[in-house]
Amino acid sequence: MTVVENAPLVAEMERALDALLRSGNPTEAALSRITTVETAAWDELVAGAGEAPPDFRARFFGEAEGTPAWRDILRALLREALKDKPRVKTAFDISRLAALREDTTAIGQAIAALAGDTAAMRATIEAIQAELRELRLLVDRLTRDLSMSESEKRALVSDLARVRAEQQGTLALVAGFLETMVGRQIPPEQFPTTLFAIARDWREAGERIDALSTSRNLSPRAEALREKARAAHAAGRLDDARQALAAMAAEEEKALTRLEAHAAEIEAERRTRRTSLAETKAAQAAVEKAGLRYREAAALYQEASALVAFDPREAWQWLLSSADALRDHGGEYGDNAALNEAIARYREVLALAPRDRVPLDWATAQNNLGNALVTLGRRDGSTARLEEAISAYRLALDERRRDRVPLYWATTQNNLGSALATLGDWWSDPSQLEEAVAAYRLALEECSRDRVPLDWAMTQTNLGDALATLGERHGDTTRLEEALAAHSLALEEHRRDRVPLHWADTQSSLGTVLATLGERESGTARLEEAVAAYRFALEERRRDRVPLRWATTQHNLGNALLTLGERGSGTARLEEAIAAFRLALEECRRDRVPLEWAMTTENIGIAEETLGTRVAPRQYWQSALDRVTAALQEYDRAGADYYIAHATTLRDRLLTRLASLP
């Protein structure tokens, strides 16, 4: 219950004031009643104030234990308008004056109260100066209101003079205390803010010390210093707390330094082990790749890359190898999903090798990305992929300059030629085919036979393919003879005992040139040579090993047999041709390689057209028409102009043949 809520106490006060006002002089009974209310009011005002921290007492008042005059100061500082009744307000004015000259009880409970009531603290200390000025005015008002005698006025004035001196001394003590605490003089108007901040920070310091966690890994000395700091703070010994915490920090810094030294050793060893494991994974991958298990190799290379993420160059190398393995799997096993994965992984590789930091690594990734795009573009008939591949190769050539890395420059020139040759074939564009031939010949200037014989042989094979396409499209026998010479040169290095698959690739290409030349000759010798070349190639291009290459060779063999069948009179060669085409379609599925599927399907239609001229025309010509119509759908989708024109002519001819039947 507060004073204002204590009705009997307030009534007692009012009776005392009535008697005082009637008599003009305070009686002992009146003063006693006033004192009762005064005591209750001040008990309420300072309720909850705890002991001041010992360090505050020692610095502020020069004492280690309880500090007198704290309540005097509190009463001098607090200006309280507690009640709304004038006579009660007057009584509290009297009690405030009386309290200034009596009750020198302990000040030890002050600081906690300051920290606990911010608003009161600020208002109180800011009022110190104003209080001194107001005291004389207050005496005049009180004596006037209470009709005090001159002697009583003089006594009050004397008391107030003493209080003023005490207050000035207190201000000096506060100023000195703050200067000691913060290291500089604080203006009186900043006393409230500064005192509150000190009290708050002192309390926070204690909370932080109490919150220090106990670590089993700290030395006994550090634990002892921790306890010493807690005890010093609890006792208010600021310097002791500071020294204990500084010593503890030094002890923990030593322990941390030792730990970090060990951590560095551990990290170095960890990296060594991870690098070693990555190299082992890469060795495993190489073994899997040698066994044509490209997907398994790709996964192992990817694991190796993740193990050495701390080394960007090593991580890049293994991730590039992972992408290459996926590309090989997609290329050799007709797995378009693997090719898409490879393309995505090459883009990751590019992110690990920024052009401005490692331009040659970036160029390598661009080159290999182009290879994957070409393979997939040939599969799904996407000219967009081929054009993207050409852009990737040209970007790579910006960094793989001939004067800087001539062999790498030559490799990318060779790859660029392959992409251009494919587009030139599809679009029947001689300019792109000529550009491809030029790129191959540039590559051969650096990829010399004496320097890199196998690369030289591969480029010769590619050059021969481009020349063969030009010769076929334009009836240029000179180009075809140049192509034949290029393949023959390649076979001098692509020996079967040395590189059987490359030997088979060149044999297949040689067969294509021989077949084209055979079509332009009246005899069948070149065509028979072509059939022999294809069958040689199939001895190494096995279905279980390289299914799509096997299928391509079956397709080419079918073409040579078809031409031979057209030259002959029976149906045996034509049926052999159809059998070869059908074998090819077992791997060249429409969902897998739609453009190659369309070419092979159309060729079956051509063979059936010829068969229809010899036996069962309606049956064979209708079947041929169905096949050619299906092939046209894929040619249209790919935008393969040359093949569209050829198939459209065939379709129209078949429609005419069917219409002529009775």
Domain coordinates in residue numbering, the chain = 7-203
> What does the buried/exposed string (b/e) look like for 407-435 if buried means 16 or more CB atoms within 10 Å of the residue's CB?
ebbbbbbbbbbbbbbbbbbbbbbeebbeb
Q: What's the one-letter identity of residue 236?
A: G
Residue 52, CA distances (Å) to 45, 65, 78, 114, 258 in order: 17, 10, 17, 9, 42
Q: Give the separation between CA 621 and CA 651, rounded to whole angstroms.
A: 10
Q: Residue 117's pLDDT is what?
A: 47
**Whether the predicted pLDDT of 199 surpasses 70:** no
Contact 147, 24 (CB under 8 A): yes
pLDDT of residue 99: 41
Contact 439, 409 (CB under 8 A): no
What would the DSSP string read from start to end of 389-447? HHHHHHHHHHHS-TTT-HHHHHHHHHHHHHHHHHHHHHHT-HHHHHHHHHHHHHHHHHS
- Which of 50 and 382 is assigned the larger pLDDT? 382
Q: What pLDDT is recorded for position 460?
A: 98
∠ CA 588-627-552, rounded to 5°: 25
- In whole angstroms, give the CA distance from residue 418 to residue 439: 9
Q: What is the pLDDT of residues 80-123, one digit of tens each?
A: 333 444 444 444 444 444 443 333 232 334 334 444 444 544 55
Query: Mean pLDDT throughout 612-625?
Result: 96
Tokens of 506: 């060149």
How many other β-carbons are positioned within 10 Å of the β-carbon of residue 309?
13
* Length reported for the chain: 662
Pick from 266, 250, 235, 309: nearest CA to 65: 235
Out of 10-14, 537-541, 653-657, 658-662, pick the least confident.
10-14
366, containing H or E segment: helix 359-380
Angle subtended at Cα 37 by Cα 31 and Cα 38, rounded to the nearest 5 degrees: 80
Report whether pLDDT(20) > 60. Answer: no
- Of residues 572 and 96, which shows the higher confidence score? 572
Residue 467 three-state SS: helix
The answer, yes or no, to whether residue 560 has pLDDT greater than 50, is yes
Percent of the chain with pLDDT over 90: 54
Residue-wise over 217-246: b if at least 16 C-beta within 10 A, else e? ebeeebeebbebbbebbeebbbebbeebbe
Q: Within a 10 A sphere around the Cβ of 210, how many other Cβ atoms?
A: 10
Indicate the range of 1-5, 271-275, 412-416, 647-651 predicted with least confidence.
Answer: 1-5
Give the C-alpha separation, 554 to 542, whole Å: 11
Q: Which residues, 6+ apart, have CB-to-CB distance to 587 below 8 Å? A: 334, 543, 547, 548, 550, 551
pLDDT at 143: 47
Q: How far apart are CA 279 and CA 277, in angstroms?
A: 5
Contact predicate 46/113, CB 8 Å: yes
Q: Which two tokens stand for residue 14?
A: 């009012």
Cβ-based neighbour number of residue 192 at 10 Å: 21
Higher pLDDT, 166 or 316: 316
* Residue 437 amino acid letter: V
The SS3 assignment for 526 reads helix
Alpha carbon distance 550, 573 (integer Å):
20
pLDDT digits (tens, 9 = 90+) for 402-449: 999 999 999 999 999 999 999 999 888 899 999 999 999 999 999 999
